[in-house]
Structure 1
Amino acid sequence: MSALTRKLRGFIDPDVDRRLLASEGEFIIDEVIKHWVTLVPPMCALALSLGCYVAMVNAGAAWWLLMVLGLALDVWAVIRMFRIHMDRFVITNMRVFRVHGAINQHLATMPMTRILDISVEQPFLGRILGYGHFVFESAAQDQGLRVIRYVGHPEQRDLTIQRVIQVAGLRTNLAHPK
Structure 2
Amino acid sequence: MALGLWVDPRIAKHLLRDEGEVIVDEVRHHWAAYVRPVLEGLVGFGLLLLSGVTPVDVAWLPILLAFGVLGHALWLAVAAHRDRFVITNMRVFRVHGVLGQSLATMPLSRILDITVRRPLHGRILGFGHFCFESAAQEQGIRDVRYVAHPYQRDLAIQRVVQRAGLRGRQFH
Question: Structure 2 length as normaliser, TM-score?
Answer: 0.93
Amino acid paired to 2:43: L
Amino acid paired to 2:102: H
Q: What per-residue deviation string (whole Å, max 9, x for no partner) do you get for residues 2-55 of structure 1?
A: xxx9xx94x432111110011111000100111111111111111111111212
CA distance in 2, matches of 1:56, 1:104: 34
1:31 aligns with 2:26: yes
How many residue pairs end up in the alignment? 169
For residue 67 of structure 1, what is the aligned residue in structure 2?
63
- Secondary structure at the residue paired with 1:132? strand
1:143 aligns with 2:139: yes
For residue 46 of structure 1, what is the aligned residue in structure 2?
41
For residue 156 of structure 2, what is the aligned residue in structure 1?
160
CA RMSD of aligned residues (A): 1.6
For residue 58 of structure 1, what is the aligned residue in structure 2?
53
Moved segments of 4+, more than 4 Å: none
1:101-116 pair list within 5 angstroms: 101-116=97-112
- Secondary structure at the residue paired with 1:126? helix
For residue 15 of structure 2, what is the aligned residue in structure 1?
20
Quote the sequence identity (%). Answer: 50
Q: What per-residue deviation string (whole Å, max 9, x for no partner) do you get for residues 93-115 of structure 1?
A: 11000001111211100011111
Amino acid paired to 2:12: D
CA distance in 1, matches of 2:97, 2:48: 30
CA distance in 2, matches of 1:140, 1:56: 53
Question: Structure 1 length as normaliser, TM-score?
Answer: 0.90
Q: Which runs of 5+ in 2 are unaligned?
A: none
61-70 or 159-168: which moved more?
61-70
CA distance in 2, matches of 1:51, 1:118: 42
- Secondary structure at the residue paired with 1:103? coil
CA distance in 1, matches of 2:161, 2:130: 16
Amino acid paired to 2:53: N
